[in-house]
Structure 1
């Protein structure tokens, strides 16, 4: 191997032989992009289908620590971008990956992150086809930052959007909420929390396609990342011009997550997720949708948690176990920094 350095140096970002060795041995050998030009040249049969549309998204990922129970920054970078495409009804196909690496980053850590990305991309059915690498001086980064962009194809007849949500649509989530946020908080180690929680980080492209095949009337979906379920519902209710009511007794939450939130004064509805989506489905198709979600491991815990209703546009409320109701507002400020 030409790359013998154990840590990344500024020379690895200088455009010379050291940079070429890093790219070849860490990135190109793992991702195996199609060709070595400055752009990826792409074609898929799905693009030839009449009425098909391209979906395109981009996102940047920062997380501390870079590796945590259930994932790492590389896995999040793939899953996050795949999920942004999937909840729009697209079949994810291609990703780009740009790395900003801090001087002094361990090459072994970088290899693990890249291997994690490659494995997750393969499982999700996407290819990482192009990218970029930059190195910044020590103290001017945080180990590794990753930006991924994704391209997918929305087939003819699929047209999801929050504006299409109708009064009476049921609100469905695909599993327990808040695991990622709580796992990251515990993994930081500065709050003396000890739990067995694992991040829910998962790519949801296959899950969303299965749901749409079983319930083509699904009107909208979002992944519940920063700001959690509460922020996703507020955004969707506002765009739909409807109100949404959820039931606290139906929310799927682990006791460990509830415990962490009680200790720290956090609300689990605002905890970030990296493998959870919320979708709106007509009541007549809800059982078919649930069956399709539950048939896959990433949707095994799918449940109905509420309903869209006529009412004040954009208002989200939650029925409590005591028969009352409270407003679930958008997250104000931040609960946990550097989480995805």
Structure 2
């Protein structure tokens, strides 16, 4: 590899190899090696960071401001932690409209208030015209792990149940539609949402909640592969149990896209002890962002990620190599 490609940032297998070979090898330590959405530090402190370069900046159902807050809040929540404080840093291109900055900042304020977090520090840089494609945002976040929580991507065991908190692929297809001029009937909105309050309710089940993961770049398929690899297990899902909107299915069929590869920004994948699966599902469905939650499969000892199709056949789920659409988040 001589040069960086767009697929190296797309969330699939190329990105995972790139991170391992370039960054993990040099920065490796006991916290980074956890390889979670957020690092668990001493004192039950959870810390994460993320950068947002979505195109377009404003898309059906959200914008880069709401996305930047939700993305960081959700990464903290995927450790079972309660997010508290965020930073926000802006790289702004010379000539960018001030009214658009105000609109983005207002969206961040509204989303932070919804999530119950505070933006407490930040930074602003301005670069020459044509250097930043408008605006890039970096956020970092700190949260606290509650007593009894032991969420980790390494916790999966055969017999555990896999749940997704709602319809798959809404964000990826909404952004694709906005970028490519595709009209959906009914209109399709991004699912970008803060999930911390749903997770807080789930954590009442304590260590019955094994794994939480938000299927952003690379979609549900990439998350399933990460869980299988880090927990050294297999996963079987069922096509007829996957919650997918009909217009997303139709668009994927027309474009030759697997909706399991589409990015989501307001959904989570939960692996839970089978004895608590229906209680976890009930908790999700009682939350406004989880009304379409569904049990989609279970963990086994096959070492494979497979799907039982609507025809009753089984096949291996394709692992994404890179993001279907660059600059999705």
TM-score higher than 0.5 here? yes
Structure 1 residues 140-151: aligned runs within 5 Å: 140-151=131-142
- For 1:310, the equivalent position in structure 2 comes to 301
Matched-pair contact (CA < 8 Å) for 1:180–1:274: yes
Q: Distance in 1 between matches of 2:127 and 2:168?
A: 36
- For 1:327, the equivalent position in structure 2 comes to 316
Matched-pair contact (CA < 8 Å) for 1:214–1:292: no
Q: Distance in 1 between matches of 2:97 and 2:121?
A: 23
The answer to whether residue 218 in structure 2 is matched with residue 218 in structure 1 is: no
What SS does the aligned partner of 2:289 have?
helix
Structure of greater relative contact order (alpha carbons < 8 Å, 6+ residues apart)? 2
Structure 2, unaligned runs of 5 or more: 1-41
Which whole-Å deviations, capped at 9, do the CAs of 1:182-201 have from their partners, x for residues lacking one?
A: 1001111x354444000000
What is the alpha-carbon root mean square deviation over aligned residues? 1.2
Matched-pair contact (CA < 8 Å) for 2:165–2:267: yes
Q: Distance in 1 between matches of 2:145 and 2:163?
A: 22
Q: Which moved more, 1:210-219 or 1:230-239?
A: 210-219
1:156, distance to aligned residue in structure 2 (A): 2.3
Q: Distance in 1 between matches of 2:153 and 2:182?
A: 40
What SS does the aligned partner of 2:208 have?
coil
Which whole-Å deviations, capped at 9, do the CAs of 1:65-91 have from their partners, x for residues lacking one?
A: 100111000100000000000010110
Q: Distance in 2 between matches of 1:160 and 1:216?
A: 7
Which of 32, 50, 70 aligns to 1:79? It is: 70
Distance 1:279-1:192 versus aligned 2 partners, 3 A rule: closer
Matched-pair contact (CA < 8 Å) for 2:49–2:140: yes
What SS does the aligned partner of 1:252 have?
coil
- For 1:153, the equivalent position in structure 2 comes to 144
- For 1:47, the equivalent position in structure 2 comes to none
Q: Distance in 2 between matches of 1:52 and 1:287?
A: 32
The answer to whether residue 164 in structure 2 is matched with residue 183 in structure 1 is: no
Q: Distance in 2 between matches of 1:52 and 1:275?
A: 28
Structure 1 residues 76-225: aligned runs within 5 Å: 76-188=67-179, 190-195=180-185, 196-214=187-205, 216-225=207-216
Matched-pair contact (CA < 8 Å) for 2:78–2:213: yes
What SS does the aligned partner of 1:272 have?
coil
Q: What's the TM-score once normalised by structure 1's chain length?
A: 0.82
Displacement over 6 Å in runs of 4+? none
Structure 1, unaligned runs of 5 or more: 1-50
Which of 28, 32, 50 aligns to 1:59? It is: 50
What SS does the aligned partner of 1:298 have?
coil
What SS does the aligned partner of 1:219 have?
strand
Which of 278, 281, 288 aligns to 2:279? It is: 288
What SS does the aligned partner of 2:209 have?
coil
1:220, distance to aligned residue in structure 2 (A): 0.6
Matched-pair contact (CA < 8 Å) for 1:52–1:156: no
Mark the structure with the bigger radius of gyration.
1
Which of 218, 229, 247 aligns to 1:227? It is: 218
Matched-pair contact (CA < 8 Å) for 2:154–2:230: yes
Q: Distance in 2 between matches of 1:214 and 1:221?
A: 13
Q: Distance in 1 between matches of 2:323 and 2:190?
A: 19
